[in-house]
Structure 1
């Protein structure tokens, strides 16, 4: 059975069995992460089936951002994936399950588990790229809305005189996590794409900063200078 056939089977299983309330980690997310992973795999000697499986199942358990055990999500997802593969996909190669589990465990930012294989590095990069660019922006504010988080601190939106707090303000999440992602990328192509998309995040911040001053025609050059240097 080739990779396309396995993807079809995983897609069907997810449609029938997966119903997660988190709009940032739905089946569309799994499909996008796999598509990105295919770009990152180009020219690499990676095991496509391991990468595909991890992309589709990496968030099968995804605890809410404000859950006290959020950092355990990827380990729980890896355990559940192994069970699902054994029970519902009996022809899945048993020899690949350990590699799939590691790729899933290591994908999470909050878990702190370092990827040890090429497949795990590709899955981690593909998932983190989803957090940057236009989709990343949409996800940040969608999740903020679901959690009742303020968009930004109206008195100090860019945290010039306070500590960053992305549990209270969605905009703070850009600096708490998103702008740090390019430095964490594991593959050369992943770093290239992450830097490009992080630049887009900074452009958005600069546009927001200008609009908050009543200027809808330009970007805030100070914000561009301050935060672009954090990316590169």
Structure 2
């Protein structure tokens, strides 16, 4: 493990994502890195791979690059080659970045390595709970989406292409992705924390819907 490689990569990611306003900013990376390292310690993962993959997992997200699924791994590869990281490490990190994202309710996103499993769990945990709620609405605002529209039903996307084209209201995203995550965690610790954050998010949505029509007891 090279502290210099981690330090250089951290600064590179900070420079690229600092101040980003959709919830995919440096602080998202910071939280995912810290969570992934905690899970990785418990699971006996290679923490160098975990940390690099967590730092670079959103370096070029397909959501901001016309749906290009390869731009994230290729951007990460270019950076890691530039700082002369071993090819075996680069391949493992890029595989994690390629497979980490949720791709639709009916699409499997299986991670083969324990390093991938903990990074995926960490990324998914940051989509849950109070921070997950805040990030969902920040991204929805960025995309110009309605908060909620009871006339538009949530969809169950059968392909990544269909999921990428989704443009429904932000509240639909809770049903299309966020409420599904607790049952798709890879690690025991991840599942335990996901349950708590899921419950908080469910209570929020219940409260949101109870307020929707402006009816309440006087």
Q: Fold conserved (TM > 0.5)?
A: yes
Aligned to 2:92: 99
Is this contact kept in 1: 2:41–2:47, CA < 8 A?
no
The structure with the larger Rg is: 1
The 3-state SS of whatever aligns with 2:27 is helix
CA deviation string 1:19-64 (max 9, x = no partner) = 6855321211111100111221232210101010111111111133
TM-score computed with the length of structure 2 as normaliser: 0.83
Change (3 A) 1:168 1:93: same
Output the CA distance in 2 between the equivalents of 1:25 and 1:139.
8
The answer on 1:10 being equivalent to 2:5 is no
Aligned to 2:135: 139
Aligned to 2:74: 79
- Please state how far the C-alpha of 1:163 moved relative to its aligned partner: 2.7
Once superposed, what is the RMSD of the aligned Cα atoms?
2.5
| Among 126, 141, 146, the residue aligned to 1:150 | 146
Output the CA distance in 2 between the equivalents of 1:18 and 1:207.
33
Q: List structure 1 segments (4+ residues) > 4 angstroms apart after TM superposition.
A: 17-22
Output the CA distance in 1 between the equivalents of 2:78 and 2:115.
20
Output the CA distance in 1 between the equivalents of 2:77 and 2:63.
22
CA deviation string 1:186-218 (max 9, x = no partner) = 11111111111110111001212222353389x
- Please state how far the C-alpha of 1:18 moved relative to its aligned partner: 4.8
Gaps (5+ residues) in structure 1?
A: 218-232
CA deviation string 1:106-126 (max 9, x = no partner) = 101128542100001111111
Change (3 A) 1:103 1:20: farther
Gaps (5+ residues) in structure 2?
A: 156-165
1:45-84 aligned at under 5 Å gives the runs: 45-64=44-63, 70=67, 72-73=68-69, 75-84=70-79
Is this contact kept in 2: 1:210–1:216, CA < 8 A?
no
Is this contact kept in 2: 1:57–1:104, CA < 8 A?
yes
The 3-state SS of whatever aligns with 2:170 is coil
1:91-130 aligned at under 5 Å gives the runs: 92-110=85-103, 112-130=108-126
- Please state how far the C-alpha of 1:85 moved relative to its aligned partner: 0.6
CA deviation string 1:162-189 (max 9, x = no partner) = 6315623111111111000111111111
Output the CA distance in 2 between the equivalents of 1:82 and 1:113.
21
Output the CA distance in 2 between the equivalents of 1:112 and 1:78.
19
Change (3 A) 1:31 1:7: farther
Q: How many residues align?
A: 204
